[in-house]
Chain A
Amino acid sequence: MFKQLVALIAAVTLAAPAAADVGSTPSPAASGSGQEEPKDAPAAVYAAEVMVLHATNSHKGIDERIGKMPELQRPPFSSYDSYELLSKQRLPLVKDDPKTMDLPNGRVLKTALREVLPKDVVRISASINQPKGRQFLPLLEVKAKVGQAFIVAGQSYKGGILVLVIRVVKP
């Protein structure tokens, strides 16, 4: 499979000498959670809406609470026939004030606002940590327009996987 996939890369891939814009690492001290908000905290203009889905092959279909998500019927998500909405939470996006959310598998999702760009576009970071502080996904940086979603999937959970659908919204 590697060979087939690498062959696909060869069709469109560029060998390039430049480096990535690595950005900076997230603030080492998580300053808040999704539930607690200091009284004098600046109001969040944007939020990250996180839907935690449990994908299994339990023949239950797609939970209607998930709403319209045609991606789930596309490969590789279509490898699972059941998607259950486990939780849905909004994490306010405030600069220098990361928010955290407990995941069902004991890991912790952390989101942070990195930059607000014109036209309702924000640059956010996300990371997933293990219970004892070990990092599972140390850093993910995404530039997203309000309403646009991205998906973080693949964590093992109860015979299936977790699918995190993260969408930037205005609270």
Chain B
Amino acid sequence: MNRQLRAMAWRDGELDADETARFEADLARDPELVAIVRALDRLDAELVPVLAARVQAAPDLSGPILARVRAEPVRPGMSRLARVIPLAAAGLAAAAAAAFALRAPEPSQHAPIASVSQGVAVSAAPEPVAVAQADDDPGVAIESVDFGSGEGTIFMVSEGESDTPVVWLNDDGPGSGAPL
């Protein structure tokens, strides 16, 4: 478990007593870990309310989308998938917003591990990953992404009527100050 996942688990109270003690000891001496926790606090404060509002405002298109998803053929390459961790997804159709995080366990994997289009929610499943499309002409859409051995998040940033897809890479490199 990398530092960001540990920080998330710690904030959610999911670490056992020993792990919690170890994490808090690390926290006391690792400024970058403190930065990660603060970044998670900011994400919680800023992104979650936005997504929650979008969920409430989103129309229920689950029926048509599910029908299209089921019509998609299963591709053999997808059987290589082992683990996908969605973080967040919200919004459908024009009021699209989707966010999720993906994690591939083996650095050598090259097959795309997920596919998402604007205005589409992606489910958590060991394999295969769901693919769906709510709009035939979305302007711009992330169709598939392979984070390799790393982790990342996909979400939409809206401004007026336009949505810009964002692929956010979690980079544990030196000097990391990313708000996730």
CB under 8 Å from chain A, chain B span 55-76:
55, 58, 62, 65-66, 69-75
**B86 lies within 8 A of A13 (CB):** yes
- Beyond A148-B139, A153-B166, whether A77 also contacts B128 by CB under 8 A is no
22 A-B residue pairs with Cβ-Cβ distance under 8 Å, sorted by A, are A1-B12, A3-B12, A5-B87, A6-B86, A8-B90, A9-B88, A9-B123, A12-B90, A14-B62, A16-B132, A17-B69, A18-B70, A18-B72, A19-B72, A20-B128, A76-B43, A141-B144, A149-B140, A151-B166, A153-B166, A153-B178, A154-B152
Chain A CB within 8 A of B21 CB? no
Binding site for A on B (CB under 8 A): 8-9, 11-12, 14, 39-40, 42-44, 46-48, 50-52, 55, 58, 62, 65-66, 69-75, 77-78, 86-92, 99-100, 109-112, 114-115, 117, 121-125, 128-132, 137-148, 150, 152, 157-160, 164-180
CB-based nearest A residue for B51: A8
Binding site for B on A (CB under 8 A): 1-6, 8-9, 11-23, 25, 56-57, 70-71, 74-80, 105, 119, 121, 123, 128, 135-145, 148-161
**B128 lies within 8 A of A19 (CB):** yes
Measured in the bound complex, the distance between the Cα atoms of B141 and A157 in whole Å is 27
Residues from chain A with a CB closer than 8 A to the CB of B179 are 76, 79-80
Q: A18 touches which one: B71, B143, B150, B160 (CB < 8 A)?
A: B71
Residues from chain B with a CB closer than 8 A to the CB of A75 are 43, 46-47, 50
In the complex, how many angstroms separate the beta carbon of A57 from the nearest chain B beta carbon? Answer: 8
Measured in the bound complex, the distance between the Cα atoms of B115 and A20 in whole Å is 5
Residues from chain B with a CB closer than 8 A to the CB of A159 are 175, 177
**B146 lies within 8 A of A138 (CB):** yes
Measured in the bound complex, the distance between the Cα atoms of B170 and A76 in whole Å is 13
Q: B44 touches which one: A1, A16, A71, A148 (CB < 8 A)?
A: A1
- Beyond A1-B8, A4-B44, whether A21 also contacts B144 by CB under 8 A is yes
- Beyond A139-B144, A139-B145, whether A12 also contacts B62 by CB under 8 A is yes
